[in-house]
Amino acid sequence: MRFAAKDLTCGRLKIGGYTTTMRQLIQTFLAKHGTPQVPQPPYSPDMAPCDFWLFPHLKKPLKGTRFESREAIMKKTTADLMAMPKSDFQDCFQKWKRRWNRCVASQGAYFEEN
């Protein structure tokens, strides 16, 4: 399969890191060998705590700051992360639960935040 993957990636559409042809080969192989496949749900940044809460909170203090090295960025970010109160994380997960409940109630349909 390694040889086929090299040939199939040239000039083909890639989806999820695989070419569409490669994806079909993998699915055929798994079906042929009786391997169950679990459908991958679509990714939604509105439902990922890192995307809707953590990353924006970590990026705010970094905005407009110039760092001399990657280590300096990591040191600043780690300090900011450690300074966040535990209650902020708990609040984030409560918001996450409410988002999931709204998503389930709307059967995955789009809705505006209040």
Which range in 10-24, 31-45, 54-68 is most confidently predicted, on average pLDDT?
A: 54-68
Neighbours of 19 (CB within 10 A): 19
At residue 11, the pLDDT reads: 46
Helix (H/G/I), strand (E/B), else coil: 37: coil
pLDDT in tens, 50-89: 888 899 999 998 999 999 999 999 999 999 999 999 999 9
For tokens 């349909």, the residue is 109
Round the average pLDDT of the chain to a whole number and report it: 79
Please state the rounded mean pLDDT for residues 27-46. 79
Instruction: Report percent pLDDT > 70 for the chain.
Output: 72
At residue 110, the pLDDT reads: 67
45 falls in which pLDDT band (50, 70, 90)?
A: low
Residue 37: φ, ψ to 5° = -115, 130
Please state the rounded mean pLDDT for residues 15-44. 76
At residue 48, the pLDDT reads: 83
* Per-residue tokens: 95: 């918001």
